[in-house]
Amino acid sequence: MTKMLKTLFVSIASLSLISAVNAGELTVSGTAKATYLTVGGGQQDNSIGVSNELNFTASGELDNGYSWSYSMELDPSTDNSGAAANDDTQLSINTNGMGTVKICVSECGNNAKYAFDKSVYGSMTDTGFSEGIVYPGDSASYASIQYHSPELPFGTTIALAHGNQKTDGQSANAVASGGDSISEYAATISPVDGLTVKGSYYELNQYANGTTGQEAYEHGGAWGATYAAGAVTIGYGKSYKVPTQTDGTASGTTTVEQYENTGFSIGYAVNDALSVSYTQETGERSMQTSSTATYDIQADSFQLAYTAGGLTLGLARTDYENVGYVQNHDVTETVLGLTMAF
């Protein structure tokens, strides 16, 4: 980790040698999305909503051949106040063949948990209803400094990240409320045409504040592989999370020792405009006491997407079993979405 930080700081420090910066260009893009959501098996009413997300981007060149880019998203608040926050921010420096250095807040995630997923409407566990599957952590939940390598042999790229607690929507020097940090490593390789494999691993460095008794801190990872042949793409992957283990203070009958998720996905492009997919994922958890009964979450999703220019019409129907790892808590979600890109 120390070597990684030295490399990042040296790269940033080298910018002090630059004598001139060319003026950059600012652009605005985004989406407007209308959805109709129905949930069967729960107490939720059907819902209609319109959401939007604006992305402000800027870019430019330095006189030594480096280039830079900046991105900031304006997101509406979820508390019905009508307010909007500037968040999901990143500043990148491309070092002209030696890789890219990034400084990110709530952005630049490297988690491979969805690397297998070829769902055509959206990641099957991120469409609206919260099914309760527990995934590994990600540097995108922190304020991080990262290094991304240039493309190496066999289409390989490597990402290294170190992140601290963050405060969204405030000044660059805003003080976060916690002391936890994360170290994350990821790699992507494409050794043959059509095949892509991505993996990630992270460790959470928890701020103990003088307390004792931690046996092991949270860690985990994910990997996924996809293979495309003509109009068909298949994917398979797994993800893991080991929560922080505290010695002697929790009951083994109620304490989770590990979460493990397994996913399979297949997508088919019917033509240039129409695509369909089927995705299945299972979420398992292991308790510290093997005699404790556990129930796996299973999600099966059929999706359809039709695209015409900047318009996408999507339909997703997902069946969830044992939501929240609770036996016989089954839910069916249907989402109809209309998205306009601009």
* CATH number of the domain encompassing residue 198: 2.40.160.10
Residue 291 confidence (pLDDT): 77
Structural domains of the chain, count: 1
Residue 67 confidence (pLDDT): 92
Residue 102 CA: distances (Å) to CA of 9, 36, 160, 272: 11, 37, 10, 35
The yes-or-no verdict on residue 97 having pLDDT over 90 is: no
Q: Taking the CA atoms of the chain, what radius of gyration do you get in angstroms?
A: 22
Higher-confidence position of 77 and 292: 292
The neighbour count for residue 213, using CB atoms within 10 Å, is: 11
The yes-or-no verdict on residue 76 having pLDDT over 80 is: no
The tokens describing 28, both together, are 């605005």
Instruction: Find the range with the poorest average confidence among 12-21, 45-54, 95-104, 173-182.
Output: 12-21
Give the mean pLDDT of 7-27. 54
The neighbour count for residue 233, using CB atoms within 10 Å, is: 19
Q: How far apart are CA 177 and CA 111, in angstroms?
A: 24
The per-residue pLDDT of the chain, averaged, comes to 84
Higher-confidence position of 122 and 5: 122
Give the mean pLDDT of 85-96. 84
Q: Which domain holds residue 30?
A: 2-341
Pair 125, 189: CB distance under 8 Å: no
Pair 266, 280: CB distance under 8 Å: no
Residue 85 confidence (pLDDT): 65
The tokens describing 314, both together, are 């999507």
Residue 78 confidence (pLDDT): 60
Instruction: Find the range with the poorest average confidence among 72-76, 113-117, 159-163.
Output: 72-76
Give the mean pLDDT of 196-217. 77
pTM: 0.83
Give the mean pLDDT of 297-302. 96
Using the CB atoms, write b or e for 20-35: b if 16+ within 10 Å.
Answer: eeeeeeeeeeeeebeb
Please, which pLDDT band fits residue 129 given cuts at 50, 70 and 90? Answer: confident
Higher-confidence position of 203 and 210: 203
Higher-confidence position of 95 and 46: 95
Residue 9 confidence (pLDDT): 47
Closest CA to 141 of 197, 200, 184: 184
The yes-or-no verdict on residue 79 having pLDDT over 50 is: yes
Please, which pLDDT band fits residue 180 given cuts at 50, 70 and 90? Answer: confident
